[in-house]
Chain A
Amino acid sequence: MSQPPSSLLIVGGGSAGWITALYLQQYFNKSGQKIAISLIESPHQGPIGVGEATVHSIRFLFAALGLDERELMRETNATLKLGIMFNNWMMPTAQGIHQYFHPFEQQQAAGQYDIASEWLAGKHYQRERYDQGVSLSALLAERGAAAKTSQHRDYQGYLPYAYHIDAVLLGEYLKRKAIERGVSHSVETVQNVEAEGETITAIVTDKGRKNADFYIDCSGFKGLLINALDDDNWISFKRELPCDRAVAIQCDYASGETPRTYTTATALDHGWAWQIDLANRRGNGYVYDSDQISPEQAEQELLAHLGHPKEHKKALHLAMRVGRLKRSWIGNCLAIGLSAGFIEPLESTGLHLINLGARLFATHYSGQSNPAVMRASYNEKMAGIYEDLKQFIVLHYCLTDRDDTAFWQAAQRSVEAQPGLADKLEIWRAKVCEFMDLAGGYSTTFTDENYRYVLYGMQHYPKLDLHIDKDTNAALLQSIRNGASNLNLQAIRHHEFLTQLHRQSA
């Protein structure tokens, strides 16, 4: 019955390390310690996340971690997020620039057909964007309305929502919580990894030797532990997703300016620029293809995009290793976060992949009757999740009609590098994208709902031969518009919500 607790050592103290530590501490040790969890971090780690946007399921992670939402938001300068606005991913037209919004919700109202078919068959694309037709979030985002009020319970709102969060502050906050809850912590620099075959026997740091039953590598792109076990374990996504560098610049808000309640992803000449609004400042960055431009050129292009702000923080340049590990669990070592893989954050999935990795590990590790089988199962699932996400990101690029730079010309061809996607795109010219088109993959995060926002946002409309009743169709879509307008009347403004939130702490 009473075995001594096994030990688990996490290397790396960024978001990945602390989310994993806290999650596993809650999962395994909430009622009596089963696994002694410790974390070591190097004294000078520069956290990579510069200002994170998230997906809405992050709320379930924070809830599972037992965190008070208001405290979390206050301590990380967080804002609420209703979705992502994509700008300029196609050529501008006489009507203006190309735009579409990807929210976390789609209305289920149906007439004779499902809502997407009704929207398409009623030719509503002649008047409005798909997201404006089928979601409530689009109007709320446009009007700066908050997804929740201070009366809502933690992690609940009118509509599904995510956050913009300061990743550095999130790391510090999670660290404090994890230590409070019994995760042991020390500052050490890893110097050597000792292994026998695919099993780590010890880690040597500047403070001495460390042993554990299991090791989790959250050391970022360096992959200090996992890469010591297998040097032929990497699959590059550079061909499908060429963006491999980023430059980030923070700005203060101009007077009178308030944080937006959505992430912005604006296509530039050789990649795309993010805008992530925190409570106290605006995060900007440019993700680009280093084969096309130098970091200096990228910085200049970003500054021009920002309208050459008079004051801004020093630019931070980052290099990304785009791809995934073939096996993120080898022997007694698991990689989570950037050490396991990286896909450009166009859909704000950085923390989400950490969340999935930690959760899957917890279920697989606790039931490890046959370690080899559990490892294989974990590795297959994580590989599937990365591949699936890659396909979804490629979808954002390959439907473009932009050919103004070599980057965008290549983007049009990126579909060729993604097996099976071209066939799917052809099918989706003939019918709506349905759940079963994606089932069998690992599309738990991005399903047909999400694919439709991108497909129809990028004007990849199917030609449907459906006979709809015009009046019913008009009434159906009008009822969604009215519902959105009504919700906007009830909702408070995002900046008011933030003001109330921060006042509560005083």
Chain B
Amino acid sequence: MAHALHTLNENEHKDYKVSLDRQFNHAAEQHLIPIMTDEIFDAALEFPLVVVKNSETGAFTLCAIQGLKPETNLYCGREQYDAIYVPRALRLYPFALRENAQTQQLEICIIDDPARVGVESGEALFDAEGNKSQFLEQQIKLLKSHTEMAGQTMQLMNLLEHYELLHAQAINIKTGSEEISFDGIYVINQQKLNTLAPDVLVKLRDNGALALIYAIQQSLKQINRLIVRTHG
């Protein structure tokens, strides 16, 4: 991820092409992949979902665990990405949104990753007249829904924090001779959840949060898939 971000524009990127990579090699060394609220039900069927606290900003982020050790991903960068659901964060690459410090506008950026971005081969970003291609149109749509959902996800994280439904928990996994310890993650505090006041429960049910909370909680069971894959 040490590649530079550039504000995408037709002046500089008219001839740019993006090659597709269904192995998501760019994430081969990330074990946590961000997940947004609208992805929770799909992602929870395959990956353990946990909450991670950003050590700098203190903000909570919802992530899917795709590897049991830092800098290891058991899905991306392998021969084949063999899960049904691909988190949106993986599909966005090599595009990202960033706020321009001067204009305060959100800008679509392209990540200057030579493995994916170039002028030789791949999906063109612009047509001959300089209009955005269908491919780029799709990517921009994806980026927009990602940003929109980021707001919703932050609201969900705030709710979890507000009702003290998160607690820090180290996950210790024994796999064969190895013992792996997962630190700095937060999971749903089941005890708190079970003792929520009825009016709070009704509120969480009505705004849709309750179902998401249960899905996040249940998803922890998927850790077994990762253990199996480590051995596979």
Give A residues with C-beta under 8 Å from B: 107-109, 136, 151, 158, 478-483, 485-490
A residues in contact with B106, CB < 8 Å? 490
Contact assessment for A490 and B144 in the assembled complex, using a CB-CB cutoff below 8 Å:
yes
* Complex Cα gap A487–B7 (Å): 10
Contact assessment for A151 and B148 in the assembled complex, using a CB-CB cutoff below 8 Å:
yes
Contact assessment for B7 and A482 in the assembled complex, using a CB-CB cutoff below 8 Å:
yes
Give B residues with C-beta under 8 Å from A: 7-12, 100, 102-103, 105-108, 132, 136, 140, 144, 148
Contact assessment for A487 and B102 in the assembled complex, using a CB-CB cutoff below 8 Å:
no
Contact assessment for A486 and B102 in the assembled complex, using a CB-CB cutoff below 8 Å:
no
Contact assessment for A486 and B108 in the assembled complex, using a CB-CB cutoff below 8 Å:
yes
- What are 22 of the A-B contact pairs (CB < 8 Å)? A107-B103, A108-B102, A109-B102, A136-B105, A151-B148, A158-B105, A479-B7, A480-B103, A482-B12, A483-B100, A483-B105, A486-B107, A486-B108, A487-B107, A488-B10, A489-B8, A489-B10, A489-B108, A489-B132, A489-B136, A489-B140, A490-B140
A residues in contact with B9, CB < 8 Å? 481-483, 485-486, 489
Contact assessment for B105 and A487 in the assembled complex, using a CB-CB cutoff below 8 Å:
yes
Contact assessment for A486 and B148 in the assembled complex, using a CB-CB cutoff below 8 Å:
no
- Tell me the smallest distance from the CB of A197 to a CB of chain B, in Å: 55
* Complex Cα gap A488–B136 (Å): 13
* Complex Cα gap A147–B11 (Å): 21
What would 11 more interface pairs be, CB under 8 Å, given A151-B144, A488-B10? Answer: A108-B103, A480-B103, A481-B9, A483-B103, A483-B107, A485-B11, A486-B105, A486-B107, A487-B107, A489-B9, A489-B140
Contact assessment for B140 and A483 in the assembled complex, using a CB-CB cutoff below 8 Å:
no
- Tell me the smallest distance from the CB of B163 to a CB of chain A, in Å: 27
A489-B140, A490-B140, A490-B144 given as contacts; is B11 within 8 A of A107 (CB)?
no
Contact assessment for A482 and B11 in the assembled complex, using a CB-CB cutoff below 8 Å:
yes
* Complex Cα gap A478–B10 (Å): 12
* Complex Cα gap A203–B97 (Å): 62
A489-B136, A490-B140, A490-B144 given as contacts; is B103 within 8 A of A109 (CB)?
yes
* Complex Cα gap A486–B125 (Å): 13
Do most interface residues of chain A lie in helix, strand or loop, or is the interface mixed?
helix
B residues in contact with A486, CB < 8 Å? 7-9, 105, 107-108
B residues in contact with A479, CB < 8 Å? 7, 102
* Complex Cα gap A485–B131 (Å): 11
- Tell me the smallest distance from the CB of A3 to a CB of chain B, in Å: 42
Kindly name the residue among A108, A482, A485, A486 whose own CB sees the greatest number of chain B CB atoms within 10 A.
A486
* Complex Cα gap A421–B47 (Å): 70
* Complex Cα gap A482–B105 (Å): 12
Minimal Cβ-Cβ distance residue in A for B101: A109
Contacting A485 at CB < 8 Å: which of B10, B102, B144?
A: B10
B residues in contact with A490, CB < 8 Å? 106, 108, 140, 144
Contact assessment for A483 and B7 in the assembled complex, using a CB-CB cutoff below 8 Å:
yes
A residues in contact with B108, CB < 8 Å? 486, 489-490
- Tell me the smallest distance from the CB of A487 to a CB of chain B, in Å: 6
Minimal Cβ-Cβ distance residue in A for B6: A482
- Tell me the smallest distance from the CB of B43 to a CB of chain A, in Å: 23
* Complex Cα gap A341–B5 (Å): 54
- Tell me the smallest distance from the CB of B203 to a CB of chain A, in Å: 24
Contact assessment for B102 and A107 in the assembled complex, using a CB-CB cutoff below 8 Å:
yes
- Tell me the smallest distance from the CB of B73 to a CB of chain A, in Å: 30
A residues in contact with B105, CB < 8 Å? 136, 158, 483, 486-487
* Complex Cα gap A478–B102 (Å): 13
- Tell me the smallest distance from the CB of B81 to a CB of chain A, in Å: 28
A residues in contact with B136, CB < 8 Å? 489
B residues in contact with A108, CB < 8 Å? 102-103
A residues in contact with B148, CB < 8 Å? 151
Minimal Cβ-Cβ distance residue in B for A487: B105
B residues in contact with A485, CB < 8 Å? 9-11
Contact assessment for A481 and B140 in the assembled complex, using a CB-CB cutoff below 8 Å:
no
* Complex Cα gap A496–B100 (Å): 26
Contact assessment for B103 and A136 in the assembled complex, using a CB-CB cutoff below 8 Å:
yes
- Tell me the smallest distance from the CB of B139 to a CB of chain A, in Å: 10
* Complex Cα gap A108–B107 (Å): 16
* Complex Cα gap A335–B131 (Å): 51
- Tell me the smallest distance from the CB of A116 to a CB of chain B, in Å: 15
- Tell me the smallest distance from the CB of B16 to a CB of chain A, in Å: 12
A151-B144, A151-B148, A489-B136 given as contacts; is B103 within 8 A of A481 (CB)?
no
B residues in contact with A151, CB < 8 Å? 144, 148
* Complex Cα gap A151–B148 (Å): 9
- Tell me the smallest distance from the CB of B182 to a CB of chain A, in Å: 37
- Tell me the smallest distance from the CB of A154 to a CB of chain B, in Å: 17
- Tell me the smallest distance from the CB of B148 to a CB of chain A, in Å: 6
B residues in contact with A109, CB < 8 Å? 102-103
Minimal Cβ-Cβ distance residue in B for A482: B9
